[in-house]
Structure 1
């Protein structure tokens, strides 16, 4: 009965983490480039309550019968992120960029390291540098002159500007994308930023449209890939599992009360 209490409590804790994760997905349903995640569970260690020994009991069906093992519940062990493509939404903003396919934009972090994002909501700072909506500059270091009256971003990431006065078009730079052999190993840092880890491996860098890389769509943003209906179904499943484990706690407590009330 004590084992049942602890096992059910662990089950409640695991399902609570699942509910928390679903709540985070739902909260980011409108976040540009957000990728939904799920919680992976794993059963815990098993206790050999009775070890099988050949001929140890007369009523054994076979000497090859398995040991009597009882598990100790489940735990949440990992967050699995889904990197499927979100819907492309047209914004009309010439600096907005959506990645159609694989790849991440590269941004320069305050400590000088490189972060990776699918959020192409781009603007200009006071010096004309292209930055994200979090104020992080693109690692490509593209600066738009103040006298530029039109900006064009090609699908291969080439950025050009039409200058005022002489109507001359000049090339400002090249946006490059990064991709990983195991994007599931990236570490989420918030603000739509992911960081490289040993699990993700080193990034592969190339221009958009290269083999294995997506293309850039100017004037579009990638929506979150969270599906509200799917998340609601998962929420109901997690709630039911939580309720079942809580009833198991109550049942174990009732059994202990009966045991304590037995009089000789």
Structure 2
């Protein structure tokens, strides 16, 4: 009897956790460069002094869906999307590197290139500073060039180059802030094969239809686990009645 209770109880608990993951994916369908989270269930035996006759369910996070999202043209010079595999590199408050696909950038009052969340975007030599009053363009290799708004308009200067990396996806882990880091903590090296598109943003790769179907299936699975617990309670009540009669 308690085997059934173990399975149904832990199954219901982790179904709720998986629903939270699916809800988070749905909430980020409009988040630029968002990568959907993936989960799966697995059975784990209960280790005790007795025989391992009981098992419970664990929601094991498989990882992340790294497939690319659709590109959307914006025409904004500070919008950039990574084509295919690859990442933009940002600097976290503690000075370490993190990786993102969200290329909606901005300039601070001091001309420092940042993400919309206020993290410095890194170039080959560190944070990138943009001079004032210039026309900004970003090449496919991440090179940031400028032309003055006045004077010699054909005078183009190279300001810097975005640091573009493509670390092994198996070595990436998602943080609570949605940014990715390497599991071993070693910064990724520049990858010349990574390219970007200026004036474009990458949409989330969450499939809304699949996520909604998953929510429905998880709701039905939760109801099934609740019925199993009710059946276990009913069986226990009938067993007590039989023992009382004997």
Fold shared by both chains (TM-score > 0.5) = yes
Q: Does the C-alpha gap of structure 1 residues 76 and 254 become closer, same or farther in structure 2, counting only changes over 3 Å?
A: same
* Shift >3 Å, 4+ stretches: none
Distance 2:110 2:144 in 1: 17
Determine which of 208, 216, 220 is the counterpart of 1:228.
Answer: 208
Larger radius of gyration: 1
Determine which of 185, 193, 199 is the counterpart of 2:172.
Answer: 185
Instruction: Answer whether contact 2:79 2:103 (CA < 8 A) is retained.
Output: yes
Match of 2:219 in 1: 239
Distance 1:216 1:182 in 2: 19
Match of 2:189 in 1: 204
Question: Residue deviations 1:95-149, cap 9 Å, x none?
Answer: 100001111111111111111111000011011111100111111122211121x
Unaligned 5+ segments in structure 1 are 52-68
Match of 1:101 in 2: 84
Offset at residue 84 of structure 1 (A): 0.3
Asked whether 1:156 is paired with 2:156, we answer: no
Determine which of 150, 157, 165 is the counterpart of 1:170.
Answer: 157
Offset at residue 202 of structure 1 (A): 5.3
Question: Residue deviations 1:17-38, cap 9 Å, x none?
Answer: 1111100000101100000011
Offset at residue 201 of structure 1 (A): 6.7
Match of 2:24 in 1: 24
216-225 or 167-176: bigger deviation: 167-176
Distance 1:183 1:172 in 2: 33
Asked whether 1:4 is paired with 2:14, we answer: no
Unaligned 5+ segments in structure 2 are none
Question: Residue deviations 1:148-207, cap 9 Å, x none?
Answer: 1x11111111110111222121111111211212346323231x4212213x87523223
Across the aligned residues of Structure 1 and Structure 2, the Cα RMSD in angstroms comes to 1.9
Question: Residue deviations 1:35-84, cap 9 Å, x none?
Answer: 0011122111179xxx9xxxxxxxxxxxxxxxxx8552321122420010
SS in 1 for 2:120: coil
Instruction: Answer whether contact 1:32 1:222 (CA < 8 A) is retained.
Output: yes
Distance 1:71 1:97 in 2: 52
Distance 1:217 1:18 in 2: 35
- 1:120-159 matches, within 5 Å, as 120-140=103-123, 141-148=127-134, 150-159=135-144
